[in-house]
Amino acid sequence: MTNLSASLTRRNFLRAFGASTAMVTLASCGGNSSSEPADGGEGTGDAAATGAQEISVCLATEPDTLDPALNSAVDGATMIVHLFAGLSKWEKDGEKYVIAPDCATELPEPVDNGDGTSTYTYTLRDGLKWSDGKDLTAKDFEFAMKRASSADLAADYAYLYEIVNGYSEDGSSEVNIQATDDKTLQITVDTVVPYWNELLAFPTFFPVREDVVSNEGWATDPSTYVSNGAYTMTGWDHNSVITVEKNANFYDADEITMDKINFYLSDDANNMLSNFQNGDWQLIDDVPTNEIASLKEQYPDEFVVAGQIGTYYVGWNVNVDILPASAGLSGVEAENARAEIRNAIGLLFDRNYIVEQIAQGGQVPASSFVSMGLTEPDGSEFYKNAGHNDGYVGYYDVSADALQSNYDKAVETLKKYYTFDEASGTFTDVPALTYLYNTSEGHKAIGEYLASAVGQVGITMNLENQEWNTFLNTRKAGDYTVARNGWLCDYNDPISMLDMWVTNSGNNDCQFGKGDHADVAAYSIDLTDLGYDTKVDGGTWADTYDVIIDTIKSESDNDKRFALMHKAEDLLMSTGAICPLYFYTDLYMISNKVKGFFSIPLGYKFFHYTTVEA
């Protein structure tokens, strides 16, 4: 895969990741308001006056937060990786993406402590500074990581620290991370995992300074925003533009070629396209759905479809009752019925129509949650080994030939619970559903299709859109019935798409194990075939799913790890609360005047080393 390819082939998709496939945070796009260029676009303002390089881009709308520990969206993370530097970073090496040292001088191997734990010892580079000129020390990393993993902060991504010795969900202990002097940081882990160095390049592991973050509003105002990366924030016109400029105190400042980046904030795809076409914005991360076909022809070198490791899906709130009042079911029986109903409704969707007629970006219909692009120890793809069905890959057949049989199966299942009118071919007592999505023409178009698909059998699905920040928090709080969702991997391992669903995860938007669902003993697991003593019949989510994930994170045998991850996905998919639609591709437009740009399959876009030709 090349970043200026107008089409995506399977072979290039895999080759680009090499041995170090990319990562991903919460994959979601969208935002809340349109904006116009504040200073007239390319080559204007102070940068143009001094001959400095300047670029204007639009990734999404107003970010929910730019605190590295609290961010959970890929657009916010892209800004954060320009503003902060961790112990490691992503680099482009030819056509591959690799992890390299950043603030650390090297990425060492762990030392076995002989008690089941291992310790990584990092030496920081000389002369590291914060953007305000103060010295950055190993103590800053220690503070930041303890903060990000703490129960008090309750960060969505705190669970990524589970493999670190001393981690506790309830705050009864803190992670075993110690600065032994200003330049030395020691991190002790309970389990050595293959993706450790990739975690260190993830914003949740970035440093922040204690005196800075003591001000709760620090991450919303350029005057209080202190960072340590290639850029420093110099302006934030909320709902319009975030401006960052090269940080003179960055250790590698001389290598940074782009002096100023204007991150314009918009969720209006037509506005984005207009600003791209008139030259004001050099990259846009969304385009009008009805323009995709023509844009591919008009801009063959600037319309990009690149590989990503992630899945676009529909998520159900497991605490919302979708049974008719006459069902008379409760407890385990009711939850089993709801799971069967959710799975049946998922069979009504024509995923080929969605990717070919709506998304139009080379996406692949998905029959499992864990994305394509993630490989097993033997080199095969994880998603191709998902499910246990002959004749097709995954948990259900998404081929065009299976559309009618899927429809028939769905109807027969729904007849078990709802009243079916044979004359009209519709159900008459299915509770009305509300589909929540964040403002975006693409998400709206998919929502309209989903509503029409269920409408064919008499199910009413109303659409509700919210601006990005509100949408994120509504979904997180579980104040919805059905919602659009998407997830890009945070690192190159299937666990990145599976551990988010443990009970106490901040990314557990489906509310598994929360509220009333916490007491539902409807699940079973059997790990005895892998040599464990674990077997649970009729357990809660915490008794089963959480146990599998904990077992995965303590298992060093890679073959067993992957077998366990398939069991975790089996259980997850049995709930019907996760309804995959397609595996992501990254669709964006970039001016052919921009050189040195790259993006990784985890969704991050890098402008550090770009230049814009006149």
The string of DSSP codes covering 211-257 is HHHTSTTGGG-TTT----SSEEEEEEETTTEEEEEE-TTSTTGGG--
CB 569 within 8 A of CB 385: no
- Identify the pLDDT of residue 45: 39
- Identify the pLDDT of residue 245: 98
Q: What angle do CA 492, 497, 501 make, to 5 degrees?
A: 150
Q: What angle do CA 496, 351, 602 make, to 5 degrees?
A: 30
- Identify the pLDDT of residue 100: 98
Q: In this predicted model, what pLDDT tens digit does every residue of 431-490 receive, in sequence order?
A: 999 999 999 999 999 999 999 999 999 999 999 999 998 999 999 999 999 999 999 999
Mean pLDDT of 531-552: 98
Q: Which residues, in sequence order, are bridge partners of residue 263?
A: 57, 242
The yes-or-no verdict on residue 253 having pLDDT over 60 is: yes
Q: Give the predicted TM-score (pTM) of the model.
A: 0.88
Mean pLDDT of 140-162: 97
CATH 3.40.190.10 domain extents, the chain? 31-285
Question: Closest by alpha carbon to 590, among 295, 169, 342?
Answer: 295
The yes-or-no verdict on residue 15 having pLDDT over 50 is: no
- pLDDT band at residue 50 under the 50/70/90 scheme: low
Alpha helix stretches (DSSP H) within 428-502: 441-455, 468-477, 495-498
CB 554 within 8 A of CB 165: no
CATH 3.10.105.10 correct for 308-583: yes
Buried b / exposed e along 46-83 (16+ C-beta atoms within 10 A): ebeeeeebbbbbbbbbbbbbbbbbbbbbbbbbbbbbbb
Positive or negative torsion for Cα 295, 301, 303, 304: positive
Please state, rounded to an integer, the average pLDDT across all residues of the chain: 91
The yes-or-no verdict on residue 17 having pLDDT over 50 is: no
- Identify the pLDDT of residue 252: 97
**Protein fold of 31-285:** D-Maltodextrin-Binding Protein; domain 2 (3.40.190)
Q: 14: which residues sit within 8 A by CB, 6+ positions away?
A: 373
Burial (0-12, 13-18, 19+ Cβ within 10 Å), 337:
middle
SS (H, E, C) 17-69: HCCCCCCCCCCCCCCCCCCCCCCCCCCCHHHHHHCCCEEEEEEECCCCCCCCC
- Identify the pLDDT of residue 46: 46
CATH 3.10.105.10 domain extents, the chain? 308-583
Buried b / exposed e along 124-144 (16+ C-beta atoms within 10 A): beeebbbbeeeebbbbbbbbb
- pLDDT band at residue 311 under the 50/70/90 scheme: very high
